[in-house]
Amino acid sequence: MAFFKTTREDIKTVLEKDPAARTGFEVLLCCPGIWARMWHIPAHFLYKHNIKLLARIISQMTRFFTGIEIHPGATIGRRCFIDHGMAVVIGETAEIGDDVSIYQGVTLGGTGKDTGKRHPTIGDRVIVSSGAKVLGPFKVGNDVKIGAGSVVLKEVPDGCTVVGVPGIIVKRPGQHTEEMNQVDLPDPTTVEMECLRRRIVMLEQKVKELENESIQHSDEK
């Protein structure tokens, strides 16, 4: 019964978050994220009961049909929304909280050949945007937004927004970020370049003032 309850929750989540989804039946038939989630449940059960070969076979078959690779050892919370899902990779020791949104091309991976915990822990209500990579055994807090194409290599506190390569925190808790918006995010590189441009203009103005003062002093002599 828990399997069917989880699937119903996942379908409802897709209908709420994906404007292209029209009916629950359509979501069940045509949404690869739903099928990846459905097959991960038995694969994860088998993996935890040390039937690891069969679990891996199920996960690889799911990858073949959906384009989404979830290692059977990964732990995924409730109402996880995997949109489109192509090229999504979720590693063995990854842990994902509740109400997380994951878009295409996302990797929750490791950084080498370390053993033990080597993949990230994702908190609740996190948005991981298209093409983002979260690499390493650290925690991404609750209510975090990770911008498209970002590479996150260290822990992110609750409520922050991260963008860039490597990922930089551009918004802290209490600063509003529109829900589900992956486009209108601050660009730290652009902000830094604008600061440098203003600084250069100010310095050029100061140099001109000093040159004018020098010319005046020369004329007085």
Q: What is the tens place of the pLDDT at every residue in 128-142?
A: 999 999 999 999 999
* Mean pLDDT for the stretch of residues 170-179: 64
Q: Are 98 and 125 within 8 A, CB to CB?
A: yes
Question: Mind listing the pLDDT tens digit for each residue in 82-92?
Answer: 998 899 999 99
pLDDT reported for residue 209: 82
Task: Read off φ and ψ for residue 159, nearest 5 degrees.
Answer: 75, 10
Q: Are 177 and 171 within 8 A, CB to CB?
A: yes
Instruction: Give ∠ CA 120-123-129 in degrees, rounded to 5.
Output: 75
Alpha-carbon dihedral sign for residues 10, 15, 17, 18: positive
Give the amino acid at 93: T
Q: Are 93 and 74 within 8 A, CB to CB?
A: yes
For residue 117, pLDDT over 80 is answered with yes
Q: Are 108 and 91 within 8 A, CB to CB?
A: yes
For residue 69, pLDDT over 90 is answered with yes
90 by DSSP, 3-state: which? strand
pLDDT reported for residue 186: 66
Q: Is 32 left (phi over 0), alpha (psi -120 to 50) or beta?
A: alpha
Question: Mind listing the pLDDT tens digit for each residue in 13-58?
Answer: 999 998 888 999 999 999 999 999 999 999 999 999 999 999 999 9
* Mean pLDDT for the stretch of residues 94-121: 90
For residue 173, pLDDT over 70 is answered with yes
Using pLDDT thresholds of 50, 70 and 90, give the confidence band for residue 118: very high
pTM: 0.79
Given this structure, which CATH class describes domain 2-186?
mainly beta
Which residues 6+ apart lie within 8 Å of 141 measured at CB?
Answer: 123, 155, 156, 157, 158, 159, 160
For residue 162, pLDDT over 80 is answered with yes
